[in-house]
Amino acid sequence: MRTLRTALLLFAAPLPLAAQASVREVPLRPGMVITESVRIRPGTYRIAASAGTERPLVTIRGRNITVDLTGVVLEGTPPTADPDAAQGLAIRIDGGEQVTLRGGRIRGYRFAVLAERTRGLTLSGMDLSRQWKPRLFSLMAHESLVDWMSFHQNEKREWMRFGAAIYLEDVRGGLIEGNRALQGMNGLLMTRSDSLQIRNNDFSFNSALGIGMYRSSDNVIVRNNVDFNVRGYQHGYYRRGQDSAGLLMYEQSHRNVVAWNSMTHGGDGLFLWAGQHTMDTGQGGANDNLFFHNDFSFAPTNGMEATFSRNRFIANIVEGNDHGLWGGYSWESVLEGNCFARNRIGIALEHGQDNTFVRNRFAQDSTAIALWANPVEPSDWGYPKHRDTRSRDYRIADNQFGGHVTQWRLENTTGLHITGSRNVSPSERCDPRALLGAAYDSLAPRGLDVPQEIPAHALGRPDRAAIIVDEWGPYDWRSPKLWPVDTSRTTVRLRLLGPAGEWRLASRRGVARVSAERGVSGDTITVTPHADSIGDWSLRFEYADSLPVTFERFEPRADWQVRFISWPDSTGDPARDSLGFAARLRGALLLERREPRLDYMWYRPTIAGLPQERWGLEATARIVVPPGEHSLRTISDDAVRVWVDGRLVIDHWTPHGSELAYAPIASGARDIRVQYAQIGGWSELRVEVIRGRSRSTGSAGPH
């Protein structure tokens, strides 16, 4: 098989033993350029990097070079620093051939390793966890569009703004093996990088992507843990994913082999998209990739999403997702021997042609298979103008079904050939090997020197309720954490999460009662704040031998008086006319409300009587700000301005997408007035007082 042979031949081999013995040892110095094999002197180096990637701490260039970082710890920020304080680039591999970088631990940078224009690259045995990641603003029952990602454009290196533990650009041939990249934003990002083996790595618990690929083909991704790469999920409240994923494969990425990986609990497990070129022209796709015996379970959105392309999905486990496979506009794709279970929809495929579903098992999906075509397609897509997009010509044979509310949902679909379906007990365990029988070995990718099994899941493969996303991303359950059970502010229930152990209450502030002062992990306690401390209280626990565990709530009490207005399209745009907006506030109101907090986010209004677009509000409140340093923070889409004690402190009135703005606010009783205008599309407004001088801008944005 050309894909595997190319990847196997091109990876970099380690130096012969005689050559290794003569490698000299050198200390790490900022700005050093390495052009021959060296061993970096073991030790801890605390060296901050400058912003951007133009001045890396270390540059490697040349041929047949091995750089050994065994015993080296390189830190760009203190361990206690917020993750979004990290910046810059630790190591750049600048061209060259047969370059090996191994061992060591690097943390606290925007990029740990950036390799460009390299042939035969080996990265092995490195711990690249805890690089840059943005603060998130979607918390329980308070989603924010600030956190939404967009990886769709990368022709002009747009992905560089996101950062990564490993970023490969124009790399051909090599081996990425045995590395760890956890608790950052992205584990491994690849642009125009081909013929690599990526195996036995752990790219889990990142707040955007485990692995991201753009125009990257003929790679082999095998036996990796790529779990809990997720944002935009709060169990029981919302499940968006916000374009996070275990594996993202975009824009003309072809002939990749993805086998025996654990890719669970991602925003999507797999997110494959043909690319903008295909969307505009109808040509190409992200085609002829093989996804073999991976676990794509427990995604808030799609276990597998693969659109506008032709691919093979064989022997995968797809359980507990919203959609098992979302395959819009897929063509000539094959789904064979997959286990779909407890998804809302097992397979959802709109506008597909000539697809084959054989020997799959569907158990307890609300709907097993949905195939349809919409009567009207988006007018701004080029794709349907160049392609046949009817829903037609499916071969569906020898599939097993059990325990569904709806087995088939078929609309505007022709040319269905359904044979050999049979009902089975939904409680039967589904094993892809059993489904495929002797065909399993013949369908499996060959030439891979790895066990043919999915690596063990870090947390024992729990269901979707195990996804906990806080302000810095997915929680890894390795340390204790207090987490609210619901959204109540007056009587608060907190659950102590984490490894097994005992806890005791060490201190409390602003709290009248706690239901228990000792217990074990997994306990839920009830906290009643003092009547005058509803928005400012904290608890501190001691847990086994770990550091103290603290839960703090800071939300100064407010009673917002909110007046809503609207305007017809014929009057123009008051959001661009301050005088016109103020005049409307003096006129007839649409409605009035009182709110304990100013926090709105929706596409379709959840307040009766509000139109979807062309509306605004003015809200006023008196807020008592306690002593200390505090800031006023707004999140808005489309326009906002804020006055404190009659002085304009935030003027973000030019229409914009969801963005943050800040202003300092002094302690004491403060009169706050907010004006907001919604022109169209999504609505978002959040106004809050926070501690300190935080100026986090959030995710790197969709631009």
Q: Is the pLDDT of residue 19 over 80?
A: no
- Residue range 366-395: mean pLDDT, rounded: 95
Distance (Å, whole) CA 92 – CA 107: 15
Whole-number pLDDT of residue 703: 43
Pair 290, 316: CB distance under 8 Å: no
Whole-number pLDDT of residue 574: 65
- Beta-sheet pairing, 345-350 with 323-326: parallel
- Residue range 417-446: mean pLDDT, rounded: 94
Per mean pLDDT, which range of 92-101, 323-332, 541-550 is the poorest?
541-550
Domains of the chain, by residue range, sit at 479-554, 560-691
Whole-number pLDDT of residue 3: 45
- Beta-sheet pairing, 268-273 with 245-250: parallel
Under the banding of pLDDT at 50, 70 and 90, the label for residue 576 is low
Whole-number pLDDT of residue 691: 94
- Residue range 475-485: mean pLDDT, rounded: 94
Which CATH topology does 479-554 take? Immunoglobulin-like (2.60.40)
Percent of the residues in the chain that have a pLDDT greater than 90, as a whole number:
85
Whole-number pLDDT of residue 7: 42
Count of Cβ atoms closer than 10 Å to residue 680 Cβ: 11
Per mean pLDDT, which range of 17-31, 189-203, 448-462 is the poorest?
17-31
Q: Is the pLDDT of residue 443 over 80?
A: yes
pTM recorded for the entire structure: 0.94
- Residue range 236-249: mean pLDDT, rounded: 95
Distance (Å, whole) CA 282 – CA 327: 16
Nearest to 288 by CA among 346, 247, 334, 327: 334
Cβ-proximal residues to 382 (8 Å cutoff; 6+ apart), any chain: 279, 280, 281, 282
The count of residues in the chain is 703
Cβ-proximal residues to 80 (8 Å cutoff; 6+ apart), any chain: none
Nearest to 333 by CA among 343, 347, 317, 345: 347
Distance (Å, whole) CA 37 – CA 19: 9
DSSP symbol at 610: -
Whole-number pLDDT of residue 190: 98
Percent of the residues in the chain that have a pLDDT greater than 70, as a whole number:
95
From the options 3.40.720.10, 2.60.120.260, 1.10.1040.10, 3.10.129.10, give the CATH code of 560-691.
2.60.120.260
**Structure-block tokens of residue 468:** 């906990």
Under the banding of pLDDT at 50, 70 and 90, the label for residue 11 is very low
Distance (Å, whole) CA 142 – CA 276: 32
Nearest to 42 by CA among 66, 76, 73: 73
Q: Is the pLDDT of residue 575 over 80?
A: no
Pair 621, 665: CB distance under 8 Å: no
pLDDT tens track for 321-370: 999 999 999 999 999 999 999 999 999 999 999 999 999 999 999 999 99
**Structure-block tokens of residue 579:** 């005088």
SS3 383: helix
